[in-house]
Amino acid sequence: MRAMYLANYFLSRCIAFSLLEWVASLHPIAFRAVLCLLAAIAIARGLSWLLDFSLSKLLKISVADLQALLIGGFAMLLIGLGVFLCT
Amino acid sequence: MHLKLFVLSASSVALWIAPLAALDKTLDIHKALQGLSLTAAIACAVTAGNIAREQAEQDEIEAMKAKAVKADVIDEISTSVYVSQQQRQQEAEQILNPREHLERALALTYEGEEESEPMVQNQLAEPEQNASENAESERAKRVLQLKERGWAKAKIIRNCSTPLTRGRDRH
């Protein structure tokens, strides 16, 4: 049941990234806004990856959990974008 | 609940993939439908995730309850085993050591130490005194019997002091 719970949240985030791409496809300004948002997300992810030890102490989670969250977020982004662009 | 969960999960996947694959992205109406279906898919996935989380928490609570009940049962069994073992040990001690048990009982019976000590000693010494008195009276009877039969004094003394050699002296 815990696996179902995690899988459903993973799926919802994948669909959210697809929706973001759909918003980007509506208008060029929306596309730029989404690109800026994705760039900001990428920078934040890179900083989190570099400062994982201090961030894990700040968030009170283990470093392994933080890295798992970052990798999971990146996988969600890739799946969501891939599904929208390939269909 | 499980059926609802699976239906919501499946519908979220269908609402995510099917409109993107089937509808044309150049037509405005199709684009609007894709947006709606993606929004609905997110809603379905989040709802299914919430249901699954509640179910997982309930399962954890049930598991904790089962563990608590099991621990209670184990504790009760171990307590009863300990109590029965102690009872058996006490019974065995009573059977194996009656003198000590008597001493303890007598010590508990009499309150004052000064009064109880001599009384305990007296009560414990009574069987020994009775046994020695019985032996002496039997010995006196035996001496009288032998005198009646005409035995000599020295022979009687030797006979009474060494009862194991009695039969050999007669012959």
Spatial distance between the Cα atoms of B120 and B107, rounded to a whole number of angstroms: 7
> What would the pLDDT profile of B7-46 be if each residue is shown by its tens digit?
999 999 999 999 888 888 788 888 899 999 999 999 999 9
Taking one residue from A and the other from B, the number of pairs with CB-CB distance under 8 angstroms is 68
Question: Residues of A with CB below 8 A from B55's CB?
Answer: 1, 4-5
Under the banding of pLDDT at 50, 70 and 90, the label for residue B121 is low
In this prediction, residues A64-83 reach a mean pLDDT of 90
> What would the pLDDT profile of B22-32 be if each residue is shown by its tens digit?
888 788 888 89
How much is the pLDDT for A47?
92
Contact, A79 vs A17, CB < 8 A?
A: yes
- The answer to whether the Cβ–Cβ distance between B38 and A19 falls below 8 Å is yes
In this prediction, residues B123-144 reach a mean pLDDT of 72
Q: Give the residue on B whose Cα is nearest the Cα of A8.
A: B49
Q: Whole-model pTM?
A: 0.60
Q: Give the residue on A whose Cα is nearest the Cα of B15.
A: A15
Q: How close, in Å, is residue A4 to chain B by CA atoms?
A: 6
In 3D, which of B167, B148, B171, B146 has the Cα closest to residue B157?
A: B146
Question: Who among A8, A22, A23 is closest to B52 (CB)?
Answer: A8
How much is the pLDDT for A33?
93
In this prediction, residues B107-112 reach a mean pLDDT of 64
Q: Where are the domains of chain B?
A: 2-96
Does residue B120 carry a pLDDT above 60?
A: no
The dihedral built from the CA positions of residue A23, A28, A30 and A33, taken in this order, carries a sign that is: positive
- The answer to whether the Cβ–Cβ distance between B46 and A22 falls below 8 Å is no
Spatial distance between the Cα atoms of B136 and B144, rounded to a whole number of angstroms: 12
